[in-house]
């Protein structure tokens, strides 16, 4: 049985779909602070399979003890966390508590239950403004410029030292690049609260008429067209990488890091054009000054995951754009 924390969220709900499809037994733990039970219900309908659901908080030690007593958990896929960079700057203590304390409470509960396999949702943000491109797993991490990034690095380092102290643990830190897209059914997808911070949800809400135009943050970067370059990865590819990582850490104990990206960098204007082309919709935009804290370019070297996990992203930009639009068009107001 797999414990999936944060399984009602954007990426977690796609993970739940893959797990149920692959016949894993799953218990989801989520406090629904940034998600909706509808996502879980839809995944159960889509797969024709049921999961267990516990509404609870990863910081609640009693809840975790009960959960590990009730279910025979073999491994944990740990997605639960707060993820807004801007919000973390305004509320750092809330982010430290939720993401760092929450992960610590979870690890302690795992140790008590003798469950020592965990796959963690980390982020390319741990590389800061990267010292080299493409980014390999040996590219040095740097002190993150925001509290959210700090929580990811802190949890990675806690887990690394845990493995050092007890080699019977097996840990995967998966450093995501920019997850986008949605399941091709249009049944589950990203449903940000309020005005989206991230590029693709913003474009999708312009397309559906909820927002008027996109602000392109910065056209004077040292990139081919001056706008920021990122490595966008389809969420379905991303979650498949987790299954490969889970298999790997079961056979090879230790602390492992993998970049989950495609290796391709696309600019903001590339993304606008790709969305327009795939969906035949105009996206009005305006060039604006840079957004504080943004870097010029960030894309992965995906070769370690290809070699060790036998996993590689397969879905291209056109699919990412078509699936984003399918989800947004059929759910113009998300799950609400």
d(CA 176, CA 335): 25
Cα 84 to its chain centre, rounded Å, is: 12
181 binds ligand NAD (CB under 6 A): no
Tell me if residue 269 falls in helix, strand or coil: helix
The reply to whether 58 sits near ligand NAD by the rule CB under 6 A is yes
Active site residue 266: no
Residue whose entry in the numeric block shows the structure tokens 């050092």: 164
Comparing CB distances to ligand NAD, the nearer of 96 and 226 is 96
If we measure between CA atoms, which residue out of 154, 206, 150, 157 comes closest to residue 324? 206
Query: Other CB atoms closer than 10 Å to residue 336's CB: what's the count?
Result: 8
Region 159-178 residues binding ligand NAD, contact defined as CB under 6 A: 176
Provide the CA 200 distance to its chain's centre, in angstroms: 14
Only segment of 57-65, 138-146, 222-230, 251-259 that touches ligand NAD (CB under 6 A) = 57-65
Of 24, 95, 148, 299, the active-site residue reads: 148
Among residues 35 and 267, whose Cβ is nearest to ligand NAD?
35
What's the CA gap between 126 and 292, in Å, rounded? Answer: 17
Candidates 12, 147, 189, 241: give the one binding ligand NAD (CB under 6 A).
12
The DSSP code for 290 is P
Alpha-carbon separation of residue 285 from 96, 212, 277 (angstroms): 35, 9, 15
Out of 68, 79, 127, 232, point to the residue binding ligand NAD (CB under 6 A).
Answer: 79
As measured in angstroms, the least distance from the Cβ of 167 to ligand NAD is 26
For the CB of residue 7, give the shortest distance to ligand NAD in the complex, in Å. Answer: 7
Residues designated as active site: 148
Name the residues that contact ligand NAD, by CB under 6 A. 6, 8-12, 30-35, 57-59, 79-83, 98, 102, 121, 123, 176, 179
């Amino acid at each position: 049985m797999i414990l999936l924390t944060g399984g009602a969220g954007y990426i977690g709900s796609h993970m739940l779909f893959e797990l149920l499809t692959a016949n894993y037994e799953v218990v989801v733990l989520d406090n629904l602070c940034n998600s909706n039970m509808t996502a879980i219900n839809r995944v159960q309908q889509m797969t024709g399979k049921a999961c267990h659901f516990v509404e609870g908080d990863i910081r609640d030690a009693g809840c975790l003890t009960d959960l590990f007593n009730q279910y025979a958990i073999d491994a944990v896929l740990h997605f639960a966390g707060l993820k807004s960079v801007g919000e973390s700057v305004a509320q750092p203590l809330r982010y430290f508590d939720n993401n760092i304390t929450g992960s610590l409470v979870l690890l302690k509960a795992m140790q008590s239950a003798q469950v020592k396999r965990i796959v963690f949702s980390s982020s390319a943000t741990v590389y800061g403004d990267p010292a080299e491109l493409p980014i390999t797993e040996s590219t040095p991490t740097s002190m993150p410029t925001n509290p959210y990034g700090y929580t990811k690095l802190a949890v990675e380092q806690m887990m690394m030292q845990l493995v050092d102290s007890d080699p019977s643990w097996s840990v995967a830190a998966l450093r995501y690049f920019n997850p986008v897209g949605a399941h091709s059914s249009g049944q589950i997808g990203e449903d940000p609260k309020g005005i989206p911070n991230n590029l693709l949800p913003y474009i999708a809400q312009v397309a559906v008429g909820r927002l008027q135009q996109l602000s392109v943050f910065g056209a004077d970067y040292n990139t081919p067209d001056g706008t920021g370059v990122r490595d966008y990865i389809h969420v379905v590819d991303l979650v498949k990488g987790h299954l490969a990582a889970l298999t790997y850490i079961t056979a090879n104990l230790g602390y492992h890091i993998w970049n989950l990206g495609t290796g391709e960098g696309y600019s903001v204007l590339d993304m606008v054009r790709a969305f327009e082309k795939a969906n035949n919709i105009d996206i009005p935009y305006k060039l604006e000054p840079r957004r504080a804290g943004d870097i010029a370019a960030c894309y992965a070297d995906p070769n370690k995951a290809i070699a060790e996990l036998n996993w590689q992203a397969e879905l291209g930009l056109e699919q990412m754009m078509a699936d984003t639009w399918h989800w947004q068009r059929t759910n113009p107001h998300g799950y609400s």
